[in-house]
Structure 1
Amino acid sequence: MNERKGKGGRKAVRDGIENGKVVQLRPEPATGSGAAAPEGEDRRFRYLDSGIWRRRGDKELVFICGPVDVLAESRDEEGQNWGLLLAWHDRDGHRHEEAFPRALFAGDGNEIRSRLADGGLTLGAGTAAKAAFLEWLSSLTSAERARSVTRIGWHAFGGRSAFVLPDETIGEAGERVVLQTTDREASLFGVAGTVEDWRREIGAMCAKNSRLVFAASCAFAAPLLAFLGEEGGGISFKGDSRVGKSTALRVVASVCGGTGQNGAGGYIRSWRSTSNGIESTALASCDVLLPLDEMGQLDPREAGEIAYLLSNGQGKARSTRTGGARNVARFRILFLSTGELGLSDLNREAGKATKAGQEVRFADLPADAGAGMGLFEWLHHEDTPDAFARYLRAATGRIYGAPLRAFLRQLTDTMTRESEDELRRRLRARIAELAESWLKDHPAASGQVRSVASRFAMVAVGGELATEFGLTGWDDDVAGVMAGLCFDVWLAERGTVGRREEEQAVQQLRDFIAKHGEARFERWVDSNTPEGQQVEAPDLPPGERFRTQNRAGWKRWIKEADGRSAWRYFLMSDGMVEALSGLNQRSAKVVLTERGFLLPGRDGKMSALISPPGHKKVRAYEVTAAILGSDEGDR
């Protein structure tokens, strides 16, 4: 019995050995989906389902990272900015793809390790693992190629145009295109809901509201900047708090994108930044609308500089560590801003004058539509402006991002079907038509006013094109009509169709004289007027209250042609330069002469020789008292 038992036991052991499977302590390289070995596998590394390992000796392996696929090697049009396009799955099984510049491999590798770890890839720890990681990266190659770009927006590939977003390239490029940057910024171009949802729940609510239609049209117009060869620039909704400015910004952001956490609000940027920070923000928003909230957070000392930076599309020139010139950041953006303060208000806080060029590039538009409901003119199904604003905030929290992508797809399809030159001529003709219709009653409008009219017209064309593509739900002429209303309000706020420098010249000289009257203008009182008439006792000037300090010139009590006596101001050269600071001095003096405020000398020069009491002859600018009280002087 025991013998039979022993024989059966030995047979069971033999059967177990013969039928058993070999179990390896370390798995062999797999050939399934877990394998990540590139072409020409380097024998120093093993690619297993568990990840990538570095051989060290005959048996010992060092864990580098989880499985990674090498999809392609990337480079730009000039054969520079080489990189690797890698793919991996995070711990939840979600796939990630990202292009990494090879320039990141030249350092300690911490930046690229950080970005991979942030994407959910498991990394080996320890000095040996980090060294093996860099060694592995340097060994990677691929026969596949991709085209790398360093910013989003329009790019030309072999005569064809394509629009690059962080996660998608829209248009025909001939090969795969990847956004490849040394610093990664979270993508704000999320999508939630459909175009139909946006048109029904947001676009339809914009109708009959000039500011909302204009804001949404800005988002569709931004990608047209490069196509039409237009300059960058922006519009700022200026007005008191709680009138609906931020709601309008959420509406325009919902066209472009958003984030899961903040909805369309996640696409909005803040003005609270330095000029360097704004530059990087602009580069990440090339060819799309940049919404900026609350301009009052901007440092007043940098306001003018940032206005030029955003509109000119060019960052600061910087040097490398060796003293060479770095590549200057270049971008094209249309921005929409909000704030209780405008550009001129911030410049005034900083003690600076607002240049006409800044004003043209950065147009302040009153946010209040004048209907007693703040920014709104029509509330649709809601009873109060506050309820309407809450509805739009809720809708833009759920629906965002789809309209921009649909617009770009249809635009690139149109550019394929229709000649790009023909489409460009058609849109430019429409811009000119709208601008001229708005200025038909102002034939003498300055180039500055016409420039702003063209920008507003381009915004209108963006809205009209989106309507043509079936994205907005508006009637065909709505975008043009609403943009025209906004332009009329901007022009009325500006107060003149002339050149801003002309108004600034008069205003600055007026303010200078009014501010420094007794303090810096020494009294010049004599018994005879220039015409030889005796000054009567009742015509004596007012009594002196202050002693002149830091003299800018003289003021002389003179009987005018109408028989009344008034002060005549004589500014020395330094005084006039100070009064007209920030302006083109010669142009400003010409304007003042044409307006009759500045009286030229008898020798034809703008200044004349005078002999104030107790002084030798000196050349000075003679300014009439009319500058303190009227827009036109003596002619």
Structure 2
Amino acid sequence: MSSGEKTQTGSQSGRSDIRKGIENAKVFQLPATGRNDAKQQEVSEDRRFIYRDDGIWRRNGDGAPYFICGPVEVLGESRDEAGQNWGLLLAWHDRDGHRHEEAFARALFAGDGNEIRSRLADGGLTLGAGPKAKAAFLEWLASLQSSQRARSVTKIGWHRFGGGDVFVLPDETLGETSERVVLQTLDREASLFGVSGSVEDWKLQIGALCMKNSRLIFAASCAFAAPLLGLLGEEGGGISFKGSSRLGKSTALRVAASVCGGTPQNGAGGYIRSWRSTSNGIESTALASCDVLLPLDEIGQLDPREAGEIAYLLSNGQGKARASRTGGARTVARFRILFLSTGELGLADLNREAGKATKAGQEVRFADLPADAGHGRGLFEDVHDHDTPDAFARHLRVVTGQYYGAPLRAFLLRLTDELRMKGNDVIQDRLRGRMAALTAQWLQSYPEASGQVRSVAARFAMVAAGGELATEYGLTGWDNDTPGVMAEICFAAWLAERGTVGRREDEQAVAQVRDFIAKNGEARFERWVDPVQGDAAQSEESQPPGERFRTQNRAGWKRWMKGEEGKHEWRYFLTAEGMSEALSGLNRRNATQTLIETGYLMPGKNKNSTVISPPGHRNIRAYEVKASILGTEEGDR
């Protein structure tokens, strides 16, 4: 069977362009059932209905028959692997003669039928008017049966049937399987996977301009890498181009989108989604983008209060658990997403705006990549004979509006052919080996790199592997090692922006305690000054600075005492409650151990805390923190 099942037909010229240069490409389509042939009569033997060239009619006893709808072909019945989600695969021609094919869930027939009538009418099918015609239309649908079978799925992306892998797009199924596979959903969304131009057009007009530009090649490689998530069993996640406006971030997003698809109205820009949504809306968008790149523009439009939750939702690939109308549990939405984002703000900035701490896991899943390439041209290193970066960006906007969608389909067609011929294990081992080699190469100077850094390196390496595979397939026009070199440049920029190869929690522990002490000072740390006797009482150094605040809601004490070098300084003693507040959002045990290892926290004999007796109190256990955590020898003097 085949590698390219069409489920909705418009202009066919784009399809042939997609397969140009792909050897041994085959297109499969189950034979359509004609309106007047014997097989069509087998589909519905109900004598209540009359099939004519001008449509389907309902007999009316002794009266004249009345019109139900235009000609419709029943290509088969569909169901999923569990024997659920039954539906009908219908075909019809619109008023311009274009053929449409769509699978409709039988659940749509249970109500008044308005949804299925609306979708058929939207596809150009003529429907009978009036209550009698509507009721007869539902009668006709309920009577339909077919011996032909198709396999239904409810989301795009990879699906495995009978030992074979297929990739389902809204209008095409790529790969080999014993049965036709169709996308069948209760709610239809407009397909954004349009095609304009050929692979050669994309290579010459867009791929060639990506050369010498690390961020553009990395963005395009993300589009080729997204389908590899499911094959490799990698976790979802994403990368966000972060930087000030007018750097070219949206241009890079359009380049990535042009690999995947677009719309006639907006070109590749029609494939780009907006961050302006709730977590429920983003979940729906992610479900419609399973196993393909999800480009999201301007994260600043996202509600800061939901930023962290959405970062986890997209990367974990699992929607919210919800109750059904009867109180039972609904099926949880599951998806695999690689997303590419833009914004002037990063995830940490949004969390800070919402008054929340950024967890290390969020940073790993949502990597902020500096958009500025550092060559004085914003996101670009080379503008290819254009006078200014702005002129180059405008040109890319024009060409991405003209050529889009062909590279992804050609990539999936070639990949599914390789999976069929060589087997999943061979392809997976090869890709994993390349990712491991790239990760080891990038981190060879950082043997102490934490697991968090290695996770992000692995994602960047997967992006590189996707770009290299597309280049090997002849889809980009780049040199074979170009995606890997450019991904390494981008990873180095991310690592420099992060500032450490260690665990983010370690840095956060120090930063949060530092900020807590600096922010609160004497407002929450009660003074503890020991009486000074003899000549030392006359020493100016031995006297603490004057009091500036009255302590309320005490978090601990600040004691004026000699430090390790003999100089007087404040020493901070945080109560257990005060330390918990300072380390909010972090594991307190791990964080205090980090503070001890960095030398900022002085442990007691057997515990991380020590016993103190401040004025008016006896034997209180507290955490002793040096003033050097504030970054100056004098503390907050």
Match of 1:18 in 2: none
Match of 1:589 in 2: 592
Q: Which of the residues 485, 491, 497 maps onto 1:487? A: 491
1:545 maps onto 2:548 in alignment: yes
Match of 1:24 in 2: none
**Distance (whole Å) between structure 2 residues aligned to residue 283 and residue 258 of structure 1:** 18
Q: Which of the residues 572, 597, 601 maps onto 2:575? A: 572
- TM-score under structure 2 length normalisation: 0.92
Q: Which of the residues 402, 415, 418 maps onto 1:414? A: 418
Q: CA deviation at 1:630?
A: 6.5
**Distance (whole Å) between structure 1 residues aligned to residue 592 and residue 131 of structure 2:** 72
Once the two structures are overlaid, the 10-residue window that deviates more, 263-272 or 118-127, is 118-127
Note the alpha carbon deviations across 1:347-375, whole angstroms, 9 max, x for none. 00000000000000000000000000000
**Distance (whole Å) between structure 2 residues aligned to residue 587 and residue 563 of structure 1:** 31
8 Å Cα contact 1:37/1:69 also seen in 2: no
Match of 2:408 in 1: 404
Opposite residue 425 of structure 2, the aligned amino acid is: D
Matches within 5 A, 1:246-395: 246-395=250-399
Q: Which of the residues 238, 243, 248 maps onto 1:239? A: 243
Q: Which of the residues 155, 161, 164 maps onto 2:165? A: 161
Q: CA deviation at 1:51?
A: 1.9
Q: Residue 122 and residue 183 in structure 1: after superposition, are their counterparts in 2 closer, same or farther (change >3 A)?
A: same
Match of 1:7 in 2: none
Q: Residue 95 and residue 555 in structure 1: after superposition, are their counterparts in 2 closer, same or farther (change >3 A)?
A: same
Matched residue SS, 1:601: coil
**Distance (whole Å) between structure 2 residues aligned to residue 168 and residue 561 of structure 1:** 72
Opposite residue 616 of structure 1, the aligned amino acid is: R
Opposite residue 43 of structure 1, the aligned amino acid is: R
Opposite residue 544 of structure 2, the aligned amino acid is: P
8 Å Cα contact 1:34/1:67 also seen in 2: no
Matched residue SS, 1:398: coil
**Distance (whole Å) between structure 2 residues aligned to residue 140 and residue 432 of structure 1:** 54
Q: Residue 253 and residue 132 in structure 1: after superposition, are their counterparts in 2 closer, same or farther (change >3 A)?
A: same
Q: CA deviation at 1:225?
A: 0.7
Q: Residue 533 and residue 626 in structure 1: after superposition, are their counterparts in 2 closer, same or farther (change >3 A)?
A: farther
Q: Residue 88 and residue 625 in structure 1: after superposition, are their counterparts in 2 closer, same or farther (change >3 A)?
A: same
Match of 2:613 in 1: 611
Q: Which of the residues 419, 422, 427 maps onto 2:431? A: 427
Q: CA deviation at 1:116?
A: 1.1
Q: CA deviation at 1:320?
A: 0.9
1:51 maps onto 2:62 in alignment: no
Once the two structures are overlaid, the 10-residue window that deviates more, 38-47 or 379-388, is 38-47
**Distance (whole Å) between structure 2 residues aligned to residue 463 and residue 611 of structure 1:** 64
**Distance (whole Å) between structure 2 residues aligned to residue 523 and residue 326 of structure 1:** 57
1:460 maps onto 2:464 in alignment: yes
Match of 2:128 in 1: 124
Matched residue SS, 1:107: coil
8 Å Cα contact 1:36/1:67 also seen in 2: no
Opposite residue 471 of structure 1, the aligned amino acid is: L
Matched residue SS, 1:458: helix
8 Å Cα contact 2:176/2:420 also seen in 1: no
Match of 2:222 in 1: 218
Opposite residue 579 of structure 2, the aligned amino acid is: M
8 Å Cα contact 2:526/2:556 also seen in 1: yes
1:560 maps onto 2:563 in alignment: yes
**Distance (whole Å) between structure 1 residues aligned to residue 119 and residue 35 of structure 2:** 27
Match of 1:5 in 2: none
The structure that has the greater radius of gyration is: 1
8 Å Cα contact 1:36/1:47 also seen in 2: no
8 Å Cα contact 1:34/1:49 also seen in 2: no
Match of 2:631 in 1: 629
Opposite residue 459 of structure 1, the aligned amino acid is: V
1:41 maps onto 2:58 in alignment: no
**What do you get for the CA RMSD once the two structures are aligned?**
1.8
Percent identical residues: 75
Matched residue SS, 1:337: strand
Match of 2:115 in 1: 111
Q: CA deviation at 1:536?
A: 4.8
8 Å Cα contact 1:566/1:625 also seen in 2: yes
Matched residue SS, 1:96: strand
8 Å Cα contact 2:238/2:365 also seen in 1: yes
**Distance (whole Å) between structure 2 residues aligned to residue 511 and residue 145 of structure 1:** 64
Q: Residue 55 and residue 617 in structure 1: after superposition, are their counterparts in 2 closer, same or farther (change >3 A)?
A: same
8 Å Cα contact 1:35/1:67 also seen in 2: no
8 Å Cα contact 2:35/2:51 also seen in 1: no
Note the alpha carbon deviations across 1:455-502, whole angstroms, 9 max, x for none. 000100101111111111111111000000000010000000000000
**Distance (whole Å) between structure 2 residues aligned to residue 395 and residue 442 of structure 1:** 41
Opposite residue 627 of structure 1, the aligned amino acid is: I
Match of 1:192 in 2: 196
Q: Residue 536 and residue 328 in structure 1: after superposition, are their counterparts in 2 closer, same or farther (change >3 A)?
A: farther
8 Å Cα contact 1:505/1:588 also seen in 2: yes
**Distance (whole Å) between structure 2 residues aligned to residue 325 and residue 560 of structure 1:** 60
Q: CA deviation at 1:33?
A: 8.5
Q: Residue 395 and residue 566 in structure 1: after superposition, are their counterparts in 2 closer, same or farther (change >3 A)?
A: same
Q: Which of the residues 490, 506, 514 maps onto 1:510? A: 514
**Distance (whole Å) between structure 1 residues aligned to residue 610 and residue 439 of structure 2:** 44
Matched residue SS, 2:238: strand
Q: Residue 630 and residue 109 in structure 1: after superposition, are their counterparts in 2 closer, same or farther (change >3 A)?
A: farther
Q: Which has the higher contact order (CA 8 A, sep 6+)?
A: 2
Once the two structures are overlaid, the 10-residue window that deviates more, 206-215 or 375-384, is 375-384
Opposite residue 528 of structure 2, the aligned amino acid is: W
Once the two structures are overlaid, the 10-residue window that deviates more, 119-128 or 213-222, is 119-128
Gaps of 5+ in 2: 1-33
Match of 2:479 in 1: 475
Matched residue SS, 2:401: helix
